[in-house]
């Protein structure tokens, strides 16, 4: 389809979506999820550079005009996939820190959930894709690694600061720095082998839990109190 034809299809889609009570163009959450699911399968199978918008339209089962109503390019699609995955994991982590369990138990659950996610096949493949294009597309990498308010390290840093206020932890000068340190400890000896292919499969859950147990113990040896 020519660029003129695609533009006409987009405009016609917008016009029709304003009739009959259908969601406005680009606002149907089911259609958006359908596109993201298809795009994720393509990116995971082919990598970012080898994937095309045509590949994604075929995989997602939508027209090219519909695809461009929702996403302007591959970068936009990939960033949306990253954000969707982050949001799902963030909700699980938020539930953990808001459960008001003992600090040791909360940190253990948080570390296992966060570590299992980062060591999963999808997350590892996504990180490899970003590393592969980081020099050409730093903005794409920024959307992947950015620490916004809805990310695990920020959530954990806020949790640690609250526990200090409650007397359950000793004072922490820089909660964000310590949060990232604790995250690294939870995946020590596992993350790099996974990222660079030495470890082909995600580690067994028992191994992740053992790693996290050691990390939490080291952390509490430094910052723990009788209330931890």
Domain residue spans of the chain: 3-72, 83-223
List average pLDDT for each run of 10 residues in the chain, which is 228 residues long. 50 48 68 94 90 95 93 89 86 94 97 94 88 83 67 93 96 96 95 95 96 97 90
Structure letter (DSSP) for residue 51: -
Superfamily the domain 83-223 falls into? Tetracycline Repressor, domain 2 (1.10.357.10)
Classified as helix, coil or strand, 224 is strand
pLDDT value of residue 7: 54
The burial of 3, by beta-carbon neighbours within 10 Å (0-12 exposed, 13-18 middle, 19 or more buried), is given as exposed
pLDDT value of residue 85: 84
pTM of the full structure? 0.78
Please give the full DSSP string across 135-204, using - where no structure is assigned. TT-HHHHHHHH---TTSHHHHHHHHHHHHHHTTSB---S-HHHHHHHHHHHHTTTTHHHHHTTSS-SPPP
CATH code for the structural domain at 3-72: 1.10.10.60
pLDDT value of residue 228: 78
**Cα angle 221-222-223, degrees, rounded to a multiple of 5:** 105
pLDDT value of residue 147: 57
pLDDT value of residue 192: 95
Residue bearing tokens 């359908």: 34
**Cα angle 10-15-16, degrees, rounded to a multiple of 5:** 100
Classified as helix, coil or strand, 48 is coil
pLDDT value of residue 25: 56
């Amino acid at each position: 389809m020519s660029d003129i034809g695609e533009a006409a299809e987009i405009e016609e889609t917008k016009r029709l979506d304003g009739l009959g009570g259908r969601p406005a163009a680009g606002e149907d959450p089911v259609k958006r999820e359908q596109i993201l699911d298809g795009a994720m399968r393509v990116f995971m199978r082919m990598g970012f550079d080898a994937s095309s918008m045509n590949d994604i339209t075929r995989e997602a089962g939508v027209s090219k005009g519909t695809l461009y109503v929702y996403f302007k390019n591959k970068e936009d699609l990939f960033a949306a996939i990253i954000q969707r995955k982050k949001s799902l994991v963030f909700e699980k982590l938020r539930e953990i820190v808001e459960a008001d369990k003992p600090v040791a138990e909360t940190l253990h659950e948080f570390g296992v959930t966060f570590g299992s996610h980062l060591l999963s096949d999808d997350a590892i493949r996504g990180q490899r894709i970003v590393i592969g294009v980081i020099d050409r597309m730093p903005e794409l990498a920024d959307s992947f690694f950015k620490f916004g308010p809805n990310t695990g390290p920020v959530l954990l840093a806020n949790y640690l600061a609250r526990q200090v206020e409650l007397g359950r932890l000793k004072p922490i000068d820089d909660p964000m720095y310590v949060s990232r340190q604790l995250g690294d400890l939870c995946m020590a000896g596992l993350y790099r082998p996974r990222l660079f292919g030495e470890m082909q499969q995600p580690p067994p859950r028992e191994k992740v839990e053992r790693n996290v147990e050691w990390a939490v113990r080291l952390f509490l040896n430094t910052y723990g109190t009788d209330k931890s």
